[in-house]
Amino acid sequence: PIPTELSKLRYASKYACQRASPLICLNQALAVELDIIKRSRALEGEERSALSYSRAISAIKAYPRRITSIRQVEELSHVGTIANSERFKALSLFSSIYGIGPSTARRLYALGLRTVDDLEVYFGVEPEEEESQLVELEHHERFGRASESGLGETWIKIALGLRNDFELMIPRAEVEEMGRVVMDELNIVEHGCVSTIVGGYRRGKPQSNDVDIVFTHPDPTKSKGLCKRFVHHLHKKGMVTHVMHLSGFHGHNPLRTTHWDSLEKALTVFILPPSSPFYKGTRRRMDLIFAQPEVYWCAVIGWSGSIMFQRDIRQWAKDKKGMKFDSSGITRRYDSKPFYPKTEKEVFDLFGLEWVDPVWRNA
C-alpha cells in the first residue's frame, strides 16, 4: 500500500514527479517484460520507441492495483495500445489508399496530415468528371524502396477519387465474371490466349481487393506488345478508364530490375460492361500480367502468392537448388541456364518440393 503521506500523489499524472513509484511494483512481472522490449529497442538504436516503453513502464510502476485488463490502464498517460495510437490509425488509413505505401504514409503524416479530407486537399482531388479519355500513366520514376509499392502522386490522386469504389471487396462470382469478360475480349484481339486468375482469389479468399490475371499465348511472337494493344481495346469498349503500364521489373519488387524480365503489366481501373448480369457500375482494380509462354507457370506461381509463400520458394530455390526463381522465370545460378517448366507441378518438382495446392498457400 502507498504510505498515507504519498497517497495524495496522483498515479494517473502525466508527470513522473507527481507519482509515487515503488522499487517493486504490484505489476512487477509486466514491468519486467516491458523492460526487455525497451532494452531491445534501445540496443537497436530505436531511441524514440525505447523512450515510449520507459514512459509506459514508469506509469505502470505507479499503478496501485493489479492489472488484469487493458481497459484498466487506459487512463494512464503513456500507456496505450498501438491500435489506439493516433499515428498508427492515420498511417493505416493512408496506406489503405491504393498507391500509398508505408513510406509515403509516413511522409504525409510528417506533413501534418491526419484524415482522408486532408489527403484530398493535399493531392487536389477534384469532383469526378466523366472520363472518356484513357488516363494512361507510364511508370518511369524509381520507387523508393524494395518494400514500398508507391506508385506516384497521379495514381494516388486517382485512387483517392475512386476510394468509395475501391474499398468495396470483390466477391468470387464477380471475380470470375471479370475473368470471363476479359478473356472474351482478349480472344477478339488475339485468338488463342490462355489465362489464370491468380492472387487471393486463387488461394480461396471469399472476396478480393483486386483481380489479378496472368495471360500468355502459346505463340511467343503473338504475346509481344499484347498488353498495350489489349488495354487500348478494353478502353475502346469502355471497360478500362485508367491504366498504369509497368514493365522491366519483377512482381511488385522494383529493386529486382534485371536482365530477362519479360513480364508486361497493366494496373488498370476496370468496369464491367452494362450488359453483364454483375454490372453495378463499380470501378474495380484489375492487374493484367502478360508472360511469355515459357515462363507462364512461374508467373502464375509468383502472382498466386501469398507474398510469403512466393518469397520462400525463391529462398528455397536459392539455398537448396542454386537456382534463381521469380515470377518471370527460373535460372540456374552458376551458368544462368534457364528452365521452362511446362506445368505448375513441374515447378515444384524441379525444386524438389511437394505439391502445395493454391488454397494451402496462404502463408
Binding site for Mg ion (CB under 5 A): 199-200, 210, 212
Judged by beta carbon, residue 11 or residue 303, the one nearer ligand DCP is 303
C-beta nearest to Mg ion: residue: 199
Q: Minimum Å distance from CB 362 to Mg ion?
A: 13
Judged by beta carbon, residue 93 or residue 289, the one nearer Mg ion is 289
Judged by beta carbon, residue 113 or residue 170, the one nearer ligand DCP is 170
Judged by beta carbon, residue 302 or residue 341, the one nearer ligand DCP is 302
Judged by beta carbon, residue 173 or residue 188, the one nearer Mg ion is 173
Judged by beta carbon, residue 99 or residue 341, the one nearer Mg ion is 99
Cell (9 digits) for 124: 487536389
Q: Minimum Å distance from CB 104 to ligand DCP?
A: 15
The option from ligand DCP, Mg ion, none interacting with 123 (CB < 5 to 8 A, set by class) reads none
Q: How far is CA 89 from CA 48, 71, 103, 118, 246, in A?
A: 18, 19, 15, 14, 31
Task: Give the helix/strand (H/E) hosting 295.
Answer: none
Q: Minimum Å distance from CB 252 to ligand DCP?
A: 4
Q: Minimum Å distance from CB 175 to ligand DCP?
A: 9
| Side chain identity, residue 258 | T
Torsion-angle region of residue 342: left (phi > 0), alpha (psi -120 to 50) or beta?
alpha
The option from ligand DCP, Mg ion, none interacting with 303 (CB < 5 to 8 A, set by class) reads ligand DCP
Judged by beta carbon, residue 120 or residue 344, the one nearer ligand DCP is 344
The option from Mg ion, ligand DCP, none interacting with 205 (CB < 5 to 8 A, set by class) reads ligand DCP
Q: Minimum Å distance from CB 92 to Mg ion?
A: 19
Task: Give the helix/strand (H/E) hosting 269.
Answer: strand 264-270
**How do the residues of the chain divide into helix, strand and coil, expressed in percent and rounded to 5?**
45, 15, 40
Q: Minimum Å distance from CB 324 to ligand DCP?
A: 15
Residues contacting 191, CB < 8 A, separation 6+: none
Q: Minimum Å distance from CB 252 to Mg ion?
A: 11
The option from Mg ion, ligand DCP, none interacting with 307 (CB < 5 to 8 A, set by class) reads ligand DCP
Task: Give the helix/strand (H/E) hosting 91.
Answer: helix 86-95
List the one residue out of 261, 293, 260 whose CA is nearest residue 190.
Answer: 293
Q: Under DSSP, is residue 245 helix (H, G, I), strand (E, B) or coil? A: strand
Q: Which residues bind ligand DCP (CB under 6 A)?
A: 199-200, 205, 208-210, 212, 251-252, 302-303, 305-307, 310
Cell (9 digits) for 241: 478508364
Q: Minimum Å distance from CB 199 to Mg ion?
A: 3
Q: Kindly write down the DSSP assignment for every residue of 92-115, as one continuous string.
A: HHHHTSTT--HHHHHHHHHTT--S
Residues contacting 259, CB < 8 A, separation 6+: none
Judged by beta carbon, residue 148 or residue 210, the one nearer Mg ion is 210
The option from Mg ion, ligand DCP, none interacting with 329 (CB < 5 to 8 A, set by class) reads none
Cell (9 digits) for 333: 545460378
The option from ligand DCP, Mg ion, none interacting with 19 (CB < 5 to 8 A, set by class) reads none
The option from ligand DCP, Mg ion, none interacting with 196 (CB < 5 to 8 A, set by class) reads none
Runs of H (alpha helix) within 111-171: 116-123, 153-161, 163-166
Cell (9 digits) for 310: 512466393
Q: Minimum Å distance from CB 211 to Mg ion?
A: 7
Cell (9 digits) for 117: 479530407
Look-up of cell digits 529462398: 315
Q: How far apart are CA 105 and CA 162, in angstroms?
A: 18
C-beta nearest to ligand DCP: residue: 305
Judged by beta carbon, residue 161 or residue 199, the one nearer ligand DCP is 199
